[in-house]
Amino acid sequence: MPVLAAVLAPLVLLAGGLSAGVLVGTQLGGWPLLAALPPARYVHAHAFFAGRYDPFMPLCFAGTLLGDLALAALVPQGARWAFAAGAPLVLAAMAVSVTRNVPVNRWIRTLDPDALPPDFAARDPRPRWGRWNRVRCVLAVAALAANCLGTGLLF
């Protein structure tokens, strides 16, 4: 195994594990909390969470994707397919984040919890956001599983 692959594989597992872990944690704790809150408290809590995860998650996703692509080119044929499978999974998770979750996060940050729009109940993004968050969680965990398999095949 090339030295670069020996360095990249653990970094890909770290970045992919962090992103999948954040999303699983959101599914297990953050989402049920946000879904149960009254609208004003939801807007306040969502701004708290999103402001911490938004800068972190793109870096983890991008590092995983770039590492997967590099490993798919560097490792022996027996493990190559696993890293090649991880790349489109993490890319799909990134696409869901950028097109479905991030726009909601940005909109929520513009709201004043004490002066919600009168039509907030009709525009409440929680059901949509929750569904898309589950999708990207499944994709990130599947990418992590592919990368774990690929790393295991290197041994």
Q: How does pLDDT run across 130-155, given as a tens digit for each residue?
A: 999 999 999 999 999 999 999 999 98
CA dist 120 and 122 (Å) reads 5
Cβ-contact 96, 135 below 8 angstroms: yes
Contact 139, 96 (CB under 8 A): yes
Question: CA 151, CA 155: separation in Å to the nearest integer?
Answer: 7
Question: pLDDT tens digits, residue range 84-94?
Answer: 999 999 999 99
pLDDT at 1: 67
Q: What is the pLDDT of residue 20?
A: 98
Instruction: Name the residue ranges covered by the structural domains of the chain.
Output: 3-114+124-154
pLDDT confidence bin for 103, thresholds 50/70/90: very high
Q: What is the mean pLDDT of residues 22-48?
A: 94
132's CB contacts (< 8 A; 6+ apart) are 96, 100, 101
